[in-house]
Amino acid sequence: MPPRPEMRSRFVRVSSWITPVCAGTAALFLAACHSDQPTGVAPTGPMSFEVTSAAVSAAQTSTNHIVRTFFIASKRGASAAERASAQTVVNSPYDLTFFGGPVMKTGTSRNVYVNCAAGPASCWGTGTLTPATFLRDLNQSSMIQIADQYLGEDVAGKWSLQELSTSTTFTNHTATINDVFAILFAASNVTKASGYNNLYHVFLPSGTDMCISSTTCYSPDNPSTFVFCAFHGSVDFGPNWHVVYTVEPYQAVGGCVLPTQTRVIDATASTLSHEFFESITDPDLDAWFNGLTGNEIGDLCASFNNVEHISRNAYAIQEEYSNTVHACTDGAF
Q: What pLDDT digit, counting tens, does each position of 253-262 carry?
A: 999 998 889 9
CB 250 within 8 A of CB 238: no
Say how many domains are in the chain. 1
What is the residue range of 318's domain? Answer: 36-329
Say if 252 falls within a structural domain.
yes
Say if 31 falls within a structural domain.
no
- Condensed to tens digits (0 to 9), the pLDDT of residues 2-25 reads 445 434 443 332 222 222 223 332
Q: Does the pLDDT of residue 40 top 50, yes or no? A: no
Pairing of strands 107-114, 174-176: unpaired
Say if 321 falls within a structural domain.
yes
pLDDT of residue 308: 76
Q: How far is CA 76 from CA 245, 288, 302, in A?
A: 21, 19, 6
Q: How far apart are CA 120 and CA 125, in angstroms?
A: 6
Element holding 272 (H helix, E strand): helix 264-281
Q: Dmax over Cα atoms in the chain, in whole Å?
A: 60
Say if 59 falls within a structural domain.
yes
Say if 123 falls within a structural domain.
yes
Query: 331 pLDDT band (50/70/90 cuts)?
Result: confident
pLDDT of residue 70: 83
Say if 52 falls within a structural domain.
yes
Say if 2 falls within a structural domain.
no
pLDDT of residue 298: 95
Say if 6 falls within a structural domain.
no
Find the mean pLDDT for residues 176-188: 98
CB 37 within 8 A of CB 195: yes
